[in-house]
């Protein structure tokens, strides 16, 4: 256990996640993939929230759902802003990524990239027959009354989650290899802070949406008959909000790590 602990500690330190032994540029470069990992976690939670919130506007009068509607809009905006920042960060790193691949760097990242691509293609291909199947079922069958469809949906959900996780892992593998200049690193730091803020907004929005629905229509969250008494604090809510809180903590760690190296990084 001592050997494992020391080995992990050295890997974390050499990766620029702790300590001040590396250059400011290396420490700044190490923080961006951490935020990217956090965003991948948030995307998984966001997908689960999108599924849980389907048709929520039909469960009560519009006036009673004003808070839930506002929270839902905030969640959508936060997700869009975070995704935009991630895409922008990829754009900033694109020239350096091209240089990496042209100089023979593909051999160092092809494993994670190939796995991510293979699982993503499989997930996309599996979605088409699953959607066709869903359109031939009634709402009750799509929500657990048909075990075969439920099992297929769970399997596809696992594939989609694996796609997100492996895609994030591939992006991190590439990000650790690219050589960015000081200016690009500063832009990445700003975008990473934007992703962290978006993650915080998404965490608050989901909590607000759930508590609002728990007050107005708890049966919707519990999956019981309309008007019935149901415990709104479901396992689904605990998992989704727990993932978002974990993502926020990881993102905050990455941003703090980058902020500490910001001032010491040369501008040229």
Query: For 104-133, what is each residue's pLDDT tens digit?
Result: 888 888 899 999 999 999 999 999 999 898
Question: Which among 240, 242, 217, 243 has a CA at the least distance from the CA of 230?
Answer: 217
d(CA 79, CA 253): 20
Classified as helix, coil or strand, 15 is coil
Query: For 238-258, what is each residue's pLDDT tens digit?
Result: 899 999 999 999 999 988 888
Query: For 24-51, what is each residue's pLDDT tens digit?
Result: 777 787 788 889 889 999 999 999 999 8
pLDDT of residue 142 exceeding 80, the answer is no
pTM: 0.83
Query: For 60-87, what is each residue's pLDDT tens digit?
Result: 777 888 999 999 999 999 999 999 999 9
Query: For 195-254, what is each residue's pLDDT tens digit?
Result: 999 999 999 999 999 999 888 888 788 766 676 676 767 788 889 999 999 999 999 998
Burial 209-233 (b: 16+ CB within 10 A, else e): bbbbbbebbbbbbbeeeeeeebebe
Kindly list the distances between the CA atom of residue 212 and the CA atoms of 207, 221, 239, 266, in Å, as whole numbers in the listed order: 9, 11, 18, 48
d(CA 23, CA 1): 30
pLDDT of residue 14 exceeding 70, the answer is no
Contact criterion met (CB below 8 Å) for 82 and 42: yes
Map out the domains of the chain as residue ranges: 28-262
Query: For 147-187, what is each residue's pLDDT tens digit?
Result: 888 899 889 999 998 998 898 888 888 888 888 887 888 88
The percent of residues in the chain predicted with pLDDT above 70, rounded, is 91
């Amino acid at each position: 256990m001592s050997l494992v602990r020391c080995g992990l500690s050295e890997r974390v330190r050499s990766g620029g996640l702790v300590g001040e032994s590396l250059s400011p540029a290396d420490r700044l470069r190490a923080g961006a993939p951490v935020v990217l990992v956090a965003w991948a976690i948030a995307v998984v939670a966001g997908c689960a929230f999108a599924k849980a919130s389907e048709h929520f506007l039909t469960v009560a009068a519009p006036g009673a759902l004003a808070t839930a509607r506002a929270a839902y809009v905030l969640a959508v905006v936060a997700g869009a802003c975070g995704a935009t920042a991630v895409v922008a960060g990829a754009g900033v790193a694109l020239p350096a990524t091209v240089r990496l691949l042209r100089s023979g760097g593909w051999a160092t990242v092809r494993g994670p990239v190939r796995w991510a691509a293979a699982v993503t293609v499989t997930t996309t291909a599996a979605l088409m027959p699953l959607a066709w199947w869903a359109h031939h079922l009634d709402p009750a069958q799509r929500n657990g009354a048909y075990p075969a469809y439920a099992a297929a949906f769970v399997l596809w959900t696992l594939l989609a989650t694996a796609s997100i996780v492996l895609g994030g892992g591939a992006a991190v593998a590439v990000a650790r290899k690219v050589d960015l200049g000081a200016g690009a690193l500063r832009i990445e730091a700003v975008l990473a802070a934007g992703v962290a803020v978006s993650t915080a907004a998404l965490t608050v929005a989901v909590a607000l949406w759930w508590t609002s629905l728990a007050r107005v229509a708890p049966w919707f969250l519990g999956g019981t008959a309309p008007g019935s008494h149901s415990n709104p604090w479901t396992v689904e809510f605990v998992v989704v909000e727990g993932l978002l809180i974990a993502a926020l903590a990881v993102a905050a760690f990455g941003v703090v790590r980058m902020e500490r190296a910001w001032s010491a990084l040369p501008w040229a």
